[in-house]
């Protein structure tokens, strides 16, 4: 595990806390280049934008689509929680080749299981990426206890 992965993942968890403070679901993401420089950040905006596709990763990919494809291929997307199938698809189509996440889909499902409105597609991002033509490296879950804290009491 790279120290920069830990630092940047903690920054994504901080963005998730910001999303929650802004009245949204507690998810955050950032895009960093190969040197670890943060290029873009995005938080979940599902509630405030009234857009069910406003997941942090999808919002980030929308912003990242303005960057050159060769730049994106060398970037890492850091996200507080494992990307859902929709977000994994967006990450794949954007050409981002590396993802690092904190909270696993399994832990999120456990935290939200008692909440009827918190729906889930139980399909991990690795499974989505495995069906593509180009590889996407996935690291996670990492810092899962820290990443899960932002969800506590929300759902």
Task: Show which residues are catalytic.
Answer: 57
Of 155, 87, 96, 76, residue with least CA distance to 125: 87
Q: Count other C-beta atoms under 10 Å from residue 22's C-beta.
A: 12
- Name the token pair of 11: 């920054």
How many angstroms separate the CA atoms of 146 and 53, rounded?
25
Torsion of CA 24, 46, 16, 82, to 10 degrees: 140
Strand ranges inside 48-124, DSSP E: 76-81, 98-103
In which residue are the tokens 């955050």 written?
28
């Amino acid at each position: 595990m790279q120290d920069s992965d830990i630092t940047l993942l903690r920054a994504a968890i901080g963005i998730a806390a910001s999303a929650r403070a802004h009245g949204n679901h507690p998810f955050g993401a950032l895009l960093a280049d190969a040197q670890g420089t943060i290029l873009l950040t995005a938080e979940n905006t599902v509630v405030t934008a009234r857009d069910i596709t406003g997941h942090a990763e999808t919002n980030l990919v929308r912003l990242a689509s303005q960057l050159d494809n060769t730049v994106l291929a060398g970037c890492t997307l850091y996200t507080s929680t494992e990307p859902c199938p929709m977000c994994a698809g967006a990450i794949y189509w954007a050409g981002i080749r590396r993802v690092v996440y904190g909270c696993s889909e399994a832990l999120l499902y456990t935290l939200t299981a008692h909440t009827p409105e918190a729906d889930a597609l139980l399909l991990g991002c690795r499974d989505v990426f495995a069906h593509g033509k180009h590889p996407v490296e996935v690291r996670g879950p990492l810092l899962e206890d820290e990443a899960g804290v932002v969800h506590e009491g929300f759902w």
